[in-house]
Structure 1
Amino acid sequence: MVRSFIKALAVCMVCSTAAFAQSEPHNFFATDDSGIPKIFFGGFTVGMNMSQVDGDTYSGYHKVGLNVGPLVYMRFNDHFGASMELLFSQKGSRERNYQEDAAGVGYVNSYDIKLNYAEIPVMLHYFSDKRFNAGVGLSYGYLVSSKEEAVTYAPVNLDTSIFSFRKHDIEGMVDVNYEFYKGWFIGMRFSYSLTSIRDGDHIPQAYGGGTFGGQYNNLFTLRLTYLIK
């Protein structure tokens, strides 16, 4: 899945290179048929989350998931605007490692947290020029489903009705976006939970991470966005 997404993104950018010099920066500075600057721009984004959960016993952005949905931009002037999105976003944690027991017998130790959110980010954007913009904002996420699995010598029962995650998540976000071809943007976003997604007393024993006092989503997202002129 990861390789396929990266290949598709690379092909899209390579195919656009030949026409890049002739392309005009488009959406945020477009006008209607009367020559009046447009205010609203709709589009769609598809991306890849690379996430971890701070407060478990592992580290590294090893969990890969989708980040996809429609969005709308509103331009205030030549330098400032805002956006709102409606996303399906997959987050969580993933770890695989090889260990040996006291007798020297090897086994694979694995751990997975799978969190699926319906998410509404609201961002403010600064346009430094006609191709580049940066944003900062907040996102509300509703947890649609969750699953937690661990395997050591044998599967571990991690019943989400006992070790439950919060249904609501508030995250802070920053991102940068670059229009590499008319209507097509590539962007990178960083997101972090401002409130815990699971309190310490709901974390399974031996799967809590020290002094965090809870667990928090921590992720980067690589995104490809198309805005309709």
Structure 2
Amino acid sequence: MTTSLKLIPLFCLFLFVLPQHADAQRRGKRIKQRFRASLITGFNLSQMDGDNYNGFDKFNPQFGIGGTAVINRQSEIGIELLYHNKGARTESDPRRLLNTKDRLVDLSYVEVPIYFRHNRRETFPTVYFEGGGAFARLIDAKIDEPAVVQDGLILSGLENDLQENELSLLLGIGYQFTEHIGARFRYSFALTRVYNTADLSEEAALQIEQERGVMQLRNYYISLAAFYRF
């Protein structure tokens, strides 16, 4: 187990202990429940920077669990454990009249987002905003593309050269319909690259660029999810 993964239980403990020392009342009302657990399900649309294509064209299901520590009636700190995929789906021959997206970069991650949430209102329903970061661990990678490509980009064979750990920033907006049911929209972009030739010698990096047409790959995604809070 890596040091980063060992820190996850400590974060959970921190989120449980912190509210015990926070303000216990707000406008004369006591907060009944300091910790809220949730089930999360939804999907994301992903793309990669560095593959010479734009567009969030890869659909990925998303599911997981979460927990929030209530600081006061408008502020919370949350942590989640999500399973979802990232990557890209693009065409290998941009000259075709019909763009057939026949190249697939499918990356499976376990991700741990940690974020701060601010509710606009103290009661439900309410809009809320969130921002934070995430640590993700790559657990599987598959790259499928035609044997002959026409866009000068060759990604097949890079699976073993991908970085296993990833750090991201996230921003989101959501709507809490009731005390238990809500939905959110989130945008995430990686601070680290899943593939990067910067650590190689200049000669080796140039050779890879000439052979494969790629120097670096970075993950982005937008997601829409619903959740049930207990």
TM-score by structure 2 length?
A: 0.72
Matches within 5 A, 1:1-229: 36-96=31-91, 110-129=102-121, 130=123, 131-151=126-146, 153=148, 158-160=156-158, 164-200=161-197, 201=205, 205-208=211-214, 214-228=216-230
Paired with 2:77 and 2:114, the residues of 1 have a C-alpha distance of 7
Question: Where does residue 32 of structure 1 map in the other structure?
Answer: none
Distance 2:93 2:195 in 1: 28
Q: Distance in 2 between matches of 1:152 and 1:199?
A: 23
Q: Which amino acid aligns with 1:216?
A: R
- Structure 1 residue matching 2:73: 3-state secondary structure: coil
CA–CA separation in structure 2 for the residues paired with 1:66 and 1:203: 32
> C-alpha displacement at 1:111, in angstroms?
1.3
Does the C-alpha gap of structure 1 residues 188 and 153 become closer, same or farther in structure 2, counting only changes over 3 Å? same
What CA deviation, in whole Å up to 9, does each residue of 1:119-161 have, x standing for no partner?
110001111113221111110000000011211647x782235
Structure 1 residue 37 displacement after superposition: 2.4
- 1:187 Cα offset (Å): 0.7
SS of equivalent residue, structure 1 residue 76: strand
Cα offset, 1:112, TM superposition:
1.1
The one-letter code matched in structure 2 to 1:95 is T
Deviations 1:59-109 (A, max 9, x none): 1100110221010011101221100001101110001376669xxxx9956
Is 2:111–2:134's contact at 8 Å kept on the other side of the alignment?
yes
1:119 maps to amino acid: E
| Preserved CA contact (<8 Å) 1:108 1:152 | no
The gaps in structure 1 that reach 5 residues or longer are: 1-34
Q: Which has the bigger relative contact order, CA under 8 A and spacing at least 6?
A: 1
Report the 3-state secondary structure (helix = DSSP H, G, I; strand = E; otherwise coil) of the residue aligned with 2:102.
strand
Compared with structure 1, are the counterparts of its residues 68 and 207 closer, same or farther at alpha carbon in structure 2 (3 Å cutoff)? farther
The code of the aligned residue for 2:216 comes to: G
Change (3 A) 1:159 1:180: same
d(CA) in 1 for partners of 2:40 and 2:183? 10
State the percentage of identical aligned residues: 20
Equivalenced residues, count: 186
Q: CA RMSD in A?
A: 2.8
**C-alpha distance 185-72 of structure 1, shift in aligned 2 (>3 A):** same
Q: Are residues 204 and 216 of structure 1, via their aligned partners in 2, closer, same or farther at CA, if it must alter by over 3 Å? A: farther
CA–CA distance in structure 2, aligned partners of residues 187 and 198 of structure 1? 29
Q: Is the 8 A contact 2:133 2:169 kept in 1?
A: yes
SS at match of 1:151: coil
AA at the equivalent of 1:132:
V
Provide structure 2 residue ranges, at least 5 long, that are not aligned to the other structure.
1-29, 198-204
Dislocated runs of 4+, deviation >3 Å: 96-101, 106-109, 200-207
